[in-house]
Amino acid sequence: NALDTEAEMYRPNFHFTPKVGWMNDPNGMFYYNGYYHLYYQHYPDGNKWGPMHWGHAISTDMVAWKEQPIALYPDEKGYIFSGSAVVDLENTSGFGIGGKVPIIAMFTYHNTDIKKAKGIDVESQAIAYSLDEGLTWTKYSGNPVIENPGIRNFRDPKVSWNKEQKKWIMVLAANDKVMFYGSKDLKSWELLSDFGGDWDRELGTHGGVWECPDLFPIPVEGSEETKWVLLVSINPGGPNGGSATQYFIGDFDGTKFIMDTEFEAVLNKGQNHWLDFGKDNYAGVSFSNVTSKDGGKFYMGWMSNWEYANKVPTETWRSAMTVAREIKMFKDDKSYRLASHPVDEIDAYKVGKYKKENIQVDGETALIKVEKVDLSRAAINFTISELKKDSFTFKLSNKVGDELSFGYDGTNNTYFLDRSKSGKTGFSTTFSNKRSTAERISSSKQLTGTLLLDKTSIELFYDDGSTVMTEIFFPNAPFETLSVASVSQDFILDNLEVNQLNR
């Protein structure tokens, strides 16, 4: 069957995709009793965005996901838009009968019927509970728990437990700001404050509507300090067009988010505050009820962009998630920053292929060939010990002439990613009309890179994850060679470590 062949040709090896149908944002991610749960915006009956359900998958390691029956179906109150889930350990909601620990999901109802009839606001917040650790759900009879206050875009509630205040805090997106709510029982909610909106200063980006916010505390690496992160996805307005996720760093006093003054100064200078500079990482949020051993947050994003998500050349299924990542915070001489890394759990799938040192790059130098390493399931690390003004370009290529190139432009101190010749690109005018760029954050002499390569995606983590780029591509045949080239005479790749990812 031709459709099956196509479906499998582009289906990733180690990224989550739905078996059939459309997928967008990750929703309701949490950890409990040995399992990570991922829900997602899903339209099982078609390959374009449609009436939204919450699909579901579980995993013991955030790498291998097993799809489950659909968790939430749309109903007369509306489509089930994005939201979150929490483990209500102390049964504050009262839904936990018979000593069971209830899981509570909070989501947005998006009602298209009201909109048609009255042309007014259609989004409200609702909850559902699960008494079998996230497998099956009952919608609360008292929904919605937050009525629409007259705001057109009013959605994507992200709930977390606030230890200090002993209450639940929820943040949601409302046009071009976020609003914070508090609750003792997850059913009755009180408005606390908002952030963003009608700024009289150039803070953050208001290129489009704000969506899928997240708020969490995180330790600052190498210090005793804890800071709060506010993630806000925005569409359009991303650094390379369309959808992307910005972040703010500050403090949360239980009621208000107060931006850190150093961070604000950096923002005011127009410097970046993007979690990922590639075109394909959107609407990502953190897992609840779990942190890494260092207090980092686990995170996944949707690996697409609203500019072309509905048109990418897969037919039976559409869209993948990023790999699960660990988000950490560090501080450099200017301000606080976020860094992302693939989760450690991915290491268990690595089979070491080879390491090379001191590679003298002379013209275009082949580094990896398909006979030795399958480049559609690979994890590659490289180091350049002594970065000068060098520019260098890595290139993935295949027999039919497709190319994906990425690297570093020493003149502008930017990383770049160019998929204009990567295969099928004509389905959208903005898929590859210009190469993506990202300012290099690190000022270290040493440049490091970690690359995750799947059949249809590349995730680039530079300089310990301080600059990240994620993009998708659709080659006409699998890539077979990875090469590197530099215009500098004495360019040396000091270290190259190649792993196969057996998944």
**DSSP 3-state of 49:** coil
Side by side, the strands of the sheet bearing 177-183 are: 154-162, 167-174, 177-183, 190-196
Residue 111 binds ligand FRU, judged by CB under 6 A:
no
Tokens of 495: 């270290």
CA distances from 236 to 123, 239, 244, 299, 337 (A): 20, 9, 8, 21, 23
Contact between residue 36 and residue 134 where contact means Cβ atoms under 8 Å apart: no
For residues 41 and 35, is the Cβ–Cβ distance under 8 A? no
- Residues 406, 484: contact at Cβ < 8 Å? no
| Position among 106, 283, 380, 451 found at the interface with ligand FRU (CB under 6 A) | 283
Annotation says 25 is catalytic: yes
Token reading at 435: 């190469």
Count the residues of the shown chain that bind ligand FRU, applying the rule CB under 6 A: 12
Residue 25 or 307: the one with the smaller Cβ distance to ligand FRU is 25
The residue (of 50 and 219) whose beta carbon lies closer to ligand FRU is: 50
To ligand FRU, the closest distance from the beta carbon of 25 in angstroms equals 5
CB of 284 to ligand FRU, least distance (A): 10
**Partners of 104 in the beta sheet?**
86, 129
Pairing of strands 226-235, 209-219: antiparallel
- Least gap, CB of 414 to ligand FRU (angstroms): 27
> Which is closer to ligand FRU, CB of 211 or CB of 390?
211
- Report if residue 52 touches ligand FRU, rule: CB under 6 A: yes
Judged by CB under 6 A, does residue 176 bind ligand FRU?
no
* 25 touching ligand FRU, by CB under 6 A: yes
Q: How many CB atoms lie within 10 A of CB 140?
A: 18
Q: Describe the chain by its helix, strand, coil percentages, rounded to 5.
A: 5, 50, 45
Which residue from 212, 329, 447, 460 is in contact with ligand FRU, where contact means CB under 6 A?
212
Of 53, 62, 140, 156, the one binding ligand FRU (CB under 6 A) is: 156
Between residue 311 and residue 340, which ones bind ligand FRU under the rule CB under 6 A? Answer: none
Interface pick for ligand FRU out of 88, 133, 176, 211 (rule CB under 6 A): 211
- Helices (DSSP H) in 175-320: which residue ranges? 261-268
In whole angstroms, how close is the CB of 24 to ligand FRU at the nearest point? 5
Taking CB under 6 A as the criterion, the residue among 47, 92, 108, 305 binding ligand FRU is 108
Binding site for ligand FRU (CB under 6 A): 24-25, 41, 52, 81-82, 108, 155-156, 211-212, 283
Active centre residues (catalytic): 25
